[in-house]
Amino acid sequence: MTAPWITYRPELKVLDCTIRDGGLVNDHAFSDDFVRAVYQACVASGVDYMEIGYKSSKKQFSRERFGPWKFCDEDDIRRIVGDNATGLKLAVMADAGKSDWQTDILPKRDSVLDLIRVAFYAHQVSEAREMILDAHEKGYDVSANLMAVSTVKEQEIDQVLEVLAETPASVIVVVDSYGSMYAEQVEILVKKYLDFGRSTGKQVGMHAHNNQQLAFANTIEAIIHGANRVDATMSGLGRGAGNCPMELLIGFLRNPKFRIRPIYEVIQNHLLPLSRQVEWGPFVQYMITGQLNEHPRSAIQARAGDKRDAYLEFYDKLVSDY
């Protein structure tokens, strides 16, 4: 009999989305030095995937307002990673309705990228299916990320999963966009995703937000119930309340290939200075939107205004809207 607290699952893979999700904090305006430091830390720490940004439409989003990691042109990526002669795999996220995926995602033979993460809401599943097929035909590994699943009715989740099960996506991800989920919900959804993906050999992933300070705990819960693809960011960097902290996740996992020191080096040298310029983390407004299962946009606006500490006013306004 093995002891589960000292063993590990070699098939469990970790994806770092510090630059992609963290870019929502500063309009993706990271310096090359910052991105390169995260990349080098991912390589040194043994992380399996690094999500370097979005493939967003230049017709919808201005290059003057947003930094290069909103668009992830091949030249920009290669400026950081060269030909990526490492074991680290590179990913980008393409949002349904916000990406010119037919033209901006190059054939795999022309790109240093390995994985395309297709993100979509339930009503966008038809486009998501086309995006998945397109990326697969171009030679990529593909992930399907149904966003804001905590707001979707069970029957609709089943319908979406039926569609995804027939696609060549290798991973389907439980995405707690609003940081509203508890362990019981994570267990139910991971098992449901596994059931739908089992016949075609799909892995299940977990992407957790930290509004209720449960991102790390919910990621562990997902792992316990069979999720083998898990997301995290260094210092929890991410929109609003942020994400599951990579340093906690790596500290928890028992696989000896992972090394935590390079992550703390990035936190000290790059994320600590960034935290003095922009903020992220489970501030009260984000806790409230998480408890109410709401998008954190109202909390982001409140934190950016001159009433950032008016917690009661914020709470009363949101509760009165119900």
Report pLDDT for 273. Answer: 98
The residue type found at 67 is G
pLDDT tens-digit profile, the chain (322 residues): 455 556 789 999 999 999 999 999 999 999 999 999 999 999 999 999 999 999 999 999 999 999 999 999 999 999 999 999 999 999 999 999 999 999 999 999 999 999 999 999 999 999 999 999 999 999 999 999 999 999 999 999 999 999 999 999 999 999 999 999 999 999 999 999 999 999 899 999 999 999 999 999 999 999 999 999 999 999 999 999 999 999 999 999 999 999 999 999 999 999 999 999 999 999 999 999 999 999 999 999 999 989 999 999 999 999 986 6
How far apart CA 288 and CA 10 sit, in angstroms, is: 37
Best CA proximity match to 97, nearest among 61, 47, 140? 61
Report pLDDT for 8. Answer: 87
Report pLDDT for 2. Answer: 53
How far apart CA 136 and CA 280 sit, in angstroms, is: 34
Other CB atoms within 10 A of residue 271 CB: 22
Report pLDDT for 4. Answer: 57
How far apart CA 320 and CA 189 sit, in angstroms, is: 30
- Phi, psi for residue 158 in degrees, rounded to 5: -60, -40
Report pLDDT for 1. Answer: 47
Cβ 170 vs Cβ 203: under 8 Å: yes
Q: What is the pTM of this model?
A: 0.96
